[in-house]
Amino acid sequence: METSIIILIVAYLASLFMAWNIGANDASNPTDTAVGSGALSLNKAILIFSLFAGVGAVAQGWMVMKTLGKGIVSSIEVAGALSAVLAGGLWVLIATLKGMPVSTSQSITGGVLGVALSYVALGLVRLDEVGWSVVVKIILSWITSPAASIVLAALLYMLLEKILRHTTMDPRKVKMLRALLIASLIFSAYSFGANDVGNATGVYLTITSKYFGIPDQSTRVFLAIIGSIGIALGAFTLGKRVVATVAYRITRLDLVSGIAAEYANALTVWLFTTVPYILFGYGMPVSTTHSSVSSVIGVGIARYRGFKGINWKTVIYIIMSWLLTLPITITLGFVVHHIIVYTLNIY
């Protein structure tokens, strides 16, 4: 029992590490358009992001926490939770240092799957006891959410362009557009917090309730606060690297394209967080990175009437990092869990 408590403390520290990495890599998702279009400075955008991501985490973060904490493996234990978070966090850190916007949702899901396969190898669960139906739904959300973001962003841009076509852009209208873009940043940060805080803390939902004897609802708030603190720290320390990639290296953004991209991103993430929970009881940990990058691609295609306005070299580089994420984190989760189990002789 004492060993488990020590591991639990280390696991919470690892959760902060994962949250820090999420903030460092994913701060770009709500802030890229505001920064890339010149509406806000990077520091101001990150401050707004940190505040409203915290609000989203506390208000709705529990929807995705449940998916990662109980959906894939019905009862993940302390060593498993620690292994999953370390696996996801290490990969996100490597990507962040390279300035690549990878999916933290994919990273933690891969880590949990790696732990699940480790359980199977150790004879702790059967292969058919893994929540494969939840895994399939998550993977489908990774495919449909980028497609939805591209289409929605392009449609919103064309609608805004049509509305503003015969309008003179005087200082008053520019100010109004800046306000709309800042509002989209707030909505996007809220949606991000609601979806992504579970990536850092969801695996601790069952464990925290079990060891501290507190209700699930209180546990969710406690974990959301831990995740929010880590995300804010990550955004302010290393967030600039990935923001620069998405804000400047995919397509050229202005106020109108920034507004369209950010509202498309925010709405997509919020819907995938909320609607599946209502229908199935599990919020989908979609990739806010996939959604954000895809929305920027969508407005680039709409603005330049085709594919010439997109820096495809950067896009292909980003997609390659996405394709590597799942196999790498599954492997890391499996290996790290085995190392912890055999080192501490837990089972």
pLDDT tens for 267-278 read 999 998 899 888
Q: What is the pLDDT of residue 334?
A: 97
Q: What is the pLDDT of residue 131?
A: 82
Helical segments of the chain, H only: 2-26, 28-36, 42-60, 62-66, 78-97, 104-122, 132-164, 171-201, 205-212, 216-248, 255-280, 288-303, 312-344
- Residues 6 or more apart from 263 whose CB is under 8 A from it? 156, 184, 187, 188
Q: What is the pLDDT of residue 244?
A: 78
Q: What is the pLDDT of residue 346?
A: 73
What is the Cα–Cα distance from 41 to 297, expressed in whole angstroms?
Answer: 22
Q: How many CB atoms lie within 10 A of CB 178?
A: 18
pTM for the predicted model, two decimal places: 0.84
**Domains of the chain, residue spans:** 2-344
Residues in the chain with pLDDT values less than 70: 1-4, 65-71, 74, 202, 205, 214-216, 347
Report DSSP state, residue 70.
Answer: I
